[in-house]
């Protein structure tokens, strides 16, 4: 009888997990799976303020619009930089996924960076509430990623997850009593793209961020080169200011990404060094689980494993782990109470000093 009532309530007022990410926004409904995954991009008319496109459609317009149309990314490094655009993005994506059936306003949990300040958390909550949710809350992205990756966060054995998103990398160690350690560093897929752009500019060749992202996906790697061939890309030759095509080698892309990947691995080992020996011993058994788009970089798991002396594996479907985990946490009151953030800003700042991650917390 209880399951019947729960199923009826979920049909009328669904539980939604939202990964409002710097690169992509993923909407997950508990019991139905991932319903939509779109780039976190919005295009609007600067004269009328009218929203022209969101998601993939807006992404295709980037760099190809007249002066009267602006293409924006509502989030930067995991926090809202354009409130109206973020609200519109969330509202349209949630409405798109649930418009096919009659319903009450959904319950919704949003995943946010562990480094977010109280003000930034409230901004996300207000944007989600303004989008039509009747109940909103939030959980750290790394915590949601651990649940979405299928880790047993209620196990006696501690579990560790490294979620590499578009704007930040979130690191968490979880145990039976909840979150043992939580840290965030401002490095993610966007920073890799920018590093590739800057590396090519040193060779007097200019490309856009979409081209840099393509090179990252096709040629990026950590550790040992996979030995792939070159990729032909279009851009501007800065010496004669003319359009050109050139081949980009795998080694150039790997060199551009090396510093950012090294910072992520240093951050992960710093978190491990901050915990008690018993927790560190658990990680020898449970290992590190990689999630997020950055987890797909070839060789990253092996490189991190060698550096930390702990096995590291990539979660199944790492791009949607955060949204799936957020939805599952909302559907379990016990899990929600155990994993939702309780600490105030001062406590989070103090914890960051212990872990040695001051750069990851907003001043």
pLDDT in tens, 174-196: 987 678 898 888 899 999 999 99
Residue 206, pLDDT above cutoff 60: yes
pLDDT of residue 84: 84
Q: Which domains does the chain have, with CATH numbers?
A: 2-141 (3.30.420.40), 189-255 (3.90.640.10)
Given a contact cutoff of 8 angstroms between Cβ atoms, the answer to whether 206 and 234 are in contact is no
The pLDDT of 295-313, averaged and rounded, is: 95
Residue 10, pLDDT above cutoff 70: no
The pLDDT of 1-30, averaged and rounded, is: 71
The pLDDT of 101-117, averaged and rounded, is: 76
pTM of the predicted structure, to 2 decimals: 0.84
* Listed residue (171, 146, 141) closest to 267, CA to CA: 171
**250: which residues sit within 8 A by CB, 6+ positions away?**
219, 221, 225, 226, 227, 228, 229, 230
Residue 207, pLDDT above cutoff 90: yes
Residue 3, pLDDT above cutoff 50: no
**17: which residues sit within 8 A by CB, 6+ positions away?**
27, 28, 29, 30, 108, 109, 111, 144, 322, 323, 324, 325, 326, 327, 328, 329, 330
The pLDDT of 59-79, averaged and rounded, is: 85
- pLDDT band of residue 99 (cuts 50, 70, 90) is low
């Amino acid at each position: 009888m209880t399951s019947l009532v729960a199923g009826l309530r979920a049909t009328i007022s669904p539980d939604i997990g939202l990964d409002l990410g710097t690169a992509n926004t993923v909407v997950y409904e508990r019991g139905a799976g991932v319903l939509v995954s779109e780039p976190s991009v919005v295009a609007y008319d600067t004269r009328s303020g009218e929203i022209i496109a969101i998601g993939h459609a807006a992404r295709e317009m980037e760099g190809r619009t007249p002066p009267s149309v602006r293409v924006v990314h509502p989030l930067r490094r995991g926090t809202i930089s354009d409130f109206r655009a973020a609200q519109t993005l969330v509202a349209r994506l949630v409405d798109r996924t649930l418009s096919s059936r009659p319903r009450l306003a959904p319950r919704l949990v949003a995943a946010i960076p562990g480094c977010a300040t109280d003000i930034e958390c409230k901004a996300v909550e207000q944007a989600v509430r303004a989008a039509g949710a009747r109940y909103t809350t939030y959980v750290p992205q790394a915590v949601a990623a651990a649940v979405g990756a299928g880790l047993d966060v209620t196990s006696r054995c501690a579990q560790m997850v490294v979620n590499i998103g578009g704007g930040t990398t979130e690191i968490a160690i979880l145990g039976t009593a909840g979150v043992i350690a939580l840290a965030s560093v401002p490095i993610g897929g966007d920073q890799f793209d920018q590093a590739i752009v800057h590396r090519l500019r040193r060779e007097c060749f200019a490309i856009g961020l979409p081209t840099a992202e393509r090179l990252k996906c096709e040629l990026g790697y950590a550790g040992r080169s996979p030995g792939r061939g070159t990729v032909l890309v279009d851009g501007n030759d800065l010496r004669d200011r003319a359009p050109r095509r050139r081949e980009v080698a795998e080694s150039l892309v790997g060199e551009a990404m090396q510093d950012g990947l090294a910072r992520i691995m240093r951050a992960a080992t710093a978190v491990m060094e901050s915990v008690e020996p018993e927790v560190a011993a658990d990680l020898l058994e449970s290992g590190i689980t990689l999630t997020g788009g950055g987890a797909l970089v070839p060789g990253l798991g092996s490189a991190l494993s060698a550096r930390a002396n702990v096995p590291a594996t990539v979660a199944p479907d790492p791009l949607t782990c955060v949204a799936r985990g957020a939805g599952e946490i909302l559907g379990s009151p016990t899990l929600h109470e155990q994993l939702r953030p309780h600490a105030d800003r001062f406590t989070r700042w103090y914890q960051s000093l212990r872990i040695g991650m001051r750069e990851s917390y907003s001043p």
